[in-house]
Amino acid sequence: MKEILYRSTRGGFSGVKASEAILQGLAEDGGLFVPESMPVLDVKLSDLAGKSYQEVAYEVMKLFLTDYSEEDLKYCISHAYDSKFDTAEIAPIKKADNAYYLELFHGSTIAFKDMALSILPYLMTTAARMNRIQDEIVILTATSGDTGKAALAGFADVPGTRIIVFFPDGGVSPIQKKQMVTQKGANCKVVAVKGNFDDCQTGVKNIFNDKAMKEEMAAGGFRFSSANSINIGRLVPQIVYYVYSYAELLKRGVIKDGDPLNIVVPTGNFGNILAAYYAKSIGVPLGKLICASNENKVLFDFFQTGAYDRNREFMLTSSPSMDILISSNLERLIYRIAGNDAEKNVAMMNALSNNGKYEITDEMKAQLSDFCAGFASEAETAQEISYMYQNADYIIDTHTAVASYVYRNYRETTGDTAPAVIASTASPYKFTRSVMTAIDEKYNAMEDFALVDALCELSGVKVPAAIEDIRSAEVLHTSVCEISQMEETVKAFLSL
């Protein structure tokens, strides 16, 4: 099998092995690691039809993680996708109305981040052993709600690691916050930041890029890595479920081998839809990749105009994991459509950093034909939840509702009736108040955990263990800091 090496989107590093890229998270020049060449799926999709999720995961991940042995990779996969998921299917696909909903929320924290963050600790600790790393690995993560808990659950009490999660104070749902602040584990730290997600994300990137901090860490026997979707070890596992979806719908006879399959993704940091783009790049005949935004529609505007402009009001919505104005993973796509030209990419990223905006060329824009975009307002998101409950007897969360609404609009305006998979990225149990009041305003008078019981009664879906576990869990993390105090907070946790 051809060895796949990685390079930074900012040109400073190349020839990096997968395990090294996973350990580093962010390249030292501030860039993101991308494959130097894109592998090709070396098994027929028809042969994957009927295979288990774990079997498909191996066939996809072995293409990208070529320095991992078969034994190591299969060990990571089998330990990640096990009884932590409440269904043997791992990622079941439910037909509802005119689409197929890929339920990515059956892991231990009931959000799609579990699909990658269940395996990342295994990939990372295996990589540390392969590269003879003695330092303690410090996972530094910013979250808009879901990554934080999924990363905490993955890394809690993993030997040789510590994890620090920053989340925007007041910018996550009550359930999301309760999940994080009750996290057990002597190696875990959770901190609320007085700012929004972009502030948290920028603060984390600044700490990563601080050379003096890096030297201080090394002297103390620590090294940083990331559990955010900037880590290629997060992105590769996400490619799997799009390949799995195509194979599963082949098995069901919904599509024939070679037929296009549209993919709809509620999008914030751009990692989840980029994984679909990578799946298409390795040979899966996906059709349109439909990027669905909420009222923070910076990505919708980018695909419409070719201009990325974060100079706008930051909206707090009912789909907080998409409340993002700086979509970090878009840099990987920009680098690619710039002809893998690091200089062009750096110029655009500098413009974003300095002026809050950049514009791609017409030549680059022409390479975005795989994508189209739409957005849903808060009212439209609520309407979609109600519509799906009333018409399909299927209750979806707010993020999935954004994608569902955008797809309904896309189908009506384009007439494209090719089968579509909608990435259902979170359980409705994670956003009970927004979901239940969208169905009926009367639920707004109820407290959060009464809403959980009402949702159970209405949906017939058992309350997930992730919710039951936090009903009476003790709050263990109460730290709050200013944006300017993030680095100081990290040092204090590490006793530097």
| Residue carrying the six token digits 């559990």 | 227
Nearest to 375 by CA among 407, 344, 398: 407
pLDDT digits (tens, 9 = 90+) for 45-60: 999 999 999 999 999 9
pLDDT tens digits for range 110-144: 999 999 999 999 999 999 999 999 899 999 999 98
Distance CA 79, CA 68 (A): 15
What average pLDDT does the segment 457-485 reach? 94
Inter-residue contact 100 to 253 (CB < 8 Å):
no
pLDDT beyond 80 at 491: yes
Give the count of beta carbons closer than 10 Å to the beta carbon of residue 475.
Answer: 12
For residue 478 the two structure tokens come to: 């109460």
Which pLDDT value is given to residue 173? 86
Sign of CA dihedral 170, 422, 389, 297: positive
**Rounded mean pLDDT, 451-462:** 96
pLDDT for 472:
86
The angle formed by the CA atoms of residues 324, 319 and 441, to the nearest 5 degrees, is: 150
Give residue-wise pLDDT tens across range 247-281.
999 999 999 999 999 999 999 899 999 999 999 99
Q: How many CA atoms are closer than 13 Å to the CA of 93, on its beta-carbon side?
A: 23
* Averaged pLDDT, 58-70: 98
pLDDT of 1 reads 77
Quick one: pLDDT at residue 27?
93
Q: How far is CA 187 from the centre of its chain?
A: 23
Residues 290-310: tens digit of each pLDDT: 999 999 999 999 999 999 999
Distance of CA 309 to the CA centre of its chain: 22
Flag whether pLDDT at 437 surpasses 80: yes
How far from 84 is each of 240, 294, 494, CA to CA, in Å?
18, 30, 30
pLDDT reported for residue 228: 81
The answer to whether 166 and 477 are in contact (CB under 8 A) is: no
Q: How far is CA 400 from CA 20, 269, 384, 461, in A?
A: 34, 15, 9, 17
* Residues facing 190 on adjacent strands: 165
With contact defined as beta carbons under 8 Å apart, do 236 and 61 qualify?
yes
What pLDDT is recorded for position 435? Answer: 97
Cα separation of 250 and 191, whole Å? 45
> Given this model, what pLDDT does residue 145 score?
77
Neighbouring-strand partners of residue 372: 290
Residue carrying structure tokens 């395996």: 119
Q: What is the pLDDT of residues 347-366, one digit of tens each?
A: 999 999 999 999 999 999 99
Task: Summarize pLDDT for 98-113 with one digit per residue, the tens.
Answer: 999 999 999 999 999 9
d(CA 59, CA 74): 10
From the CA atom positions of the chain, what is the Rg in Å?
21
CA–CA separation, 446 vs 433, rounded Å? Answer: 9
C-alpha torsion 261→265→270→276, nearest 10: -20
User: Region 164-187: what's the mean pLDDT?
Assistant: 93
Evaluate if residue 431 carries a pLDDT over 90. yes
Q: Terminus-to-terminus CA distance in the chain, angstroms?
A: 44
Q: Using an 8 Å Cβ cutoff, are 292 and 376 in contact?
A: yes
Mean pLDDT of 398-409: 98
Three-state secondary structure readout of 20-54: HHHHHCCCCCCCCEEECCCCCCCCCHHHHCCCCHH
Closest CA to 290 of 413, 430, 446, 466: 413
Average pLDDT, the chain: 95
3-state secondary structure the chain: CCCCCEEECCCCCCCECHHHHHHHCCCCCCCCEEECCCCCCCCCHHHHCCCCHHHHHHHHHHHHCCCCCHHHHHHHHHHHCCCCCCCCCCCCEEEECCEEEEECCCCCCCECHHHHHCCHHHHHHHHHHHCCCCCEEEEEEECCCHHHHHHHHHHCCCCCEEEEEEEECCCCCHHHHHHHHCCCCCCEEEEEECCCHHHHHHHHHHHHCCHHHHHHHHHCCEEEECCCCCCHHHHHHHHHHHHHHHHHHHHCCCCCCCCCEEEEEECCCCHHHHHHHHHHHCCCCEEEEEEEECCCCHHHHHHHHCEEECCCCCCCCCCHHHCCCCCCCHHHHHHHHCCCCHHHHHHHHHHHHHHCEEECCHHHHHHHCCEEEEECCHHHHHHHHHHHHHHHCCCCCHHHHHHHHHHHHHHHHHCCCCCEEEEECECHHHHHHHHHHHHCHHHHHCCHHHHHHHHHHHHCCCCCHHHHCCCCCCCCCCEEECHHHHHHHHHHHCCC
Give the strands of the sheet with 93-96, arranged side by side. 93-96, 99-103, 420-424, 261-266, 286-293, 371-375
Residue 226: predicted pLDDT: 86
Rounded mean pLDDT of 396-420? 98
pLDDT number for residue 209: 87
Q: Residue 174 pLDDT more than 90? A: no
Residues 6+ apart with CB under 8 A from 171: 144, 145, 196, 197, 316, 320, 323
Cite the active site residues.
113
pLDDT in tens, 192-211: 999 998 999 899 989 988 99
